[in-house]
Amino acid sequence: MTTTIMRTTARVVVPIVLVVALSLFLQGHNAPGGGFIGGVLTVAAFALVYVAYGLDYLEVGVLDREVDPGIGILEHRTVRAYRRLFVFGLLVAVASGVVPMLFGEPFLTQTYTYVHDVPLYGEVELASALVFDIGIFCVVVGGLLAIFSVVGAE
């Protein structure tokens, strides 16, 4: 049981934390931030939702799916999704390091290009480091949320 104050605070704070996480994630290849800290902040937002509403809130309240009470936490649909996200992120991070080797460059060599005439921004830099950051983000979010779900269910 949580209080109305906790649930109201979670409704206000979670979107703000997610926007800050996205901002840090996107600026990571040029300034402090990146996939790791963006992932940690995203997990903090999910942890706040879990504390305020419980572990099954995402299944029942958001996705409108029934939770099977007879299965163990390791077979829970959400935990399986978090494990798949972890594996996907690991594959993306490793692939972003191996692909440059196919072109004769050292492991994890990064490159960038500029996209011109983007509405509202003008010129945007696209860096291949963003692919690595996506992988790290998925590893952090998938791994930590799987751990939080399993430990929280105990």
The string of pLDDT tens digits covering residues 37-78 is 999 999 999 889 888 888 777 767 666 667 666 666 677 778
Helix (H) or strand (E) holding 123: strand 122-127
Residue-wise pLDDT for 100-128, tens only, equals 999 999 998 988 889 888 888 788 888 88
Tell the burial category of 66 from Cβ atoms under 10 Å away from its Cβ (0-12, 13-18, 19+): exposed
**Does residue 32 carry a pLDDT above 80?**
no
Of residues 92, 103, 84, the one with CA closest to residue 131: 92
Question: Tokens in use for 3?
Answer: 């209080």
**Does residue 3 carry a pLDDT above 90?**
no
How would DSSP label each residue in 57-71? HIIIIIS-----TTS
Question: Tokens in use for 30?
Answer: 């040029």
Output 11 or 79, whichever has higher pLDDT: 11
Cβ(107)–Cβ(101) below 8 Å: yes
Query: How many of the other CB atoms lie within 10 Å of CB of 94?
Result: 14
